[in-house]
């Protein structure tokens, strides 16, 4: 079993784009909890079945399994609850740590967030200059929430 400890921030400007290369992601949810969420994601020619259970504000137990892309496409088309999330994901290294910047499309167009995964909840890290307000504790910014209550409808 894995554990995900993640902090999430709004992105304040476009300076993160310099040299960034993204991967298109599509993901949908089969179960939205609480307490467990189950999703399928297709990105970079691979498909993943993912299960998460919230154990603290920014920590979740996490399981991931590769599945055939063709089956993931069928799941996204036929079994998902809510909207399928469309986004470009960029990985950017800053101060020795990898940040993931998600630029959402479709019903979440206009939303850009940056996430950093940590080893523990109290781990210190340096924020890049393009990172703005923290939204880790605002459930509206969870991908799960965005699939049910899109950003463009706020």
> What residue spans define the domains of the chain?
2-153
Q: What is the topology classification, in CATH, of domain 2-153?
A: Hypothetical Protein Pfu-838710-001 (2.40.320)
Angle at 86 between CA 84 and CA 91, to 5 degrees: 135
Q: How far apart are CA 14 and CA 32, in angstroms?
A: 32
Question: Across all residues in the chain, what is the average pLDDT?
Answer: 94
Among residues 29, 65, 90, 141, which one is catalytic? 29
pLDDT, tens only, 2-15 = 888 899 999 999 99
> Is 29 a catalytic site residue?
yes
Report residue 19's pLDDT band, with 50, 70 and 90 as the boundaries: confident
Whether 10 contacts 132, CB under 8 Å? yes
pLDDT, tens only, 123-153 = 999 999 999 999 999 999 999 999 999 999 9
Task: Give, for 59, the enclosing helix (H) or strand (E).
Answer: strand 59-67
Note the pLDDT of residue 135: 97
Note the pLDDT of residue 55: 78
């Amino acid at each position: 079993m894995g554990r995900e400890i993640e902090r999430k921030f709004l992105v304040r400007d476009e300076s993160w784009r310099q040299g960034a290369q993204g991967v298109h992601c599509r993901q949908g949810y089969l179960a939205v909890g609480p307490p467990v969420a189950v999703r399928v994601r297709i990105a970079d020619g691979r498909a993943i079945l993912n299960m998460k259970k919230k154990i603290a504000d920014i920590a979740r137990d996490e399981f991931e399994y590769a599945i055939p892309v063709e089956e993931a496409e069928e799941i996204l088309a036929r079994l998902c609850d809510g909207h399928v999330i469309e986004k470009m994901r960029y990985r950017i290294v800053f101060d020795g740590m990898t940040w993931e910047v998600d630029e959402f499309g479709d019903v979440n167009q206009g939303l850009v967030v940056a996430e950093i995964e940590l080893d523990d909840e109290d781990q210190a890290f340096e924020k890049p200059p393009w990172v703005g307000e923290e939204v880790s504790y605002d459930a509206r910014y969870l991908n799960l929430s965005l699939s049910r209550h899109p950003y463009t409808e706020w």
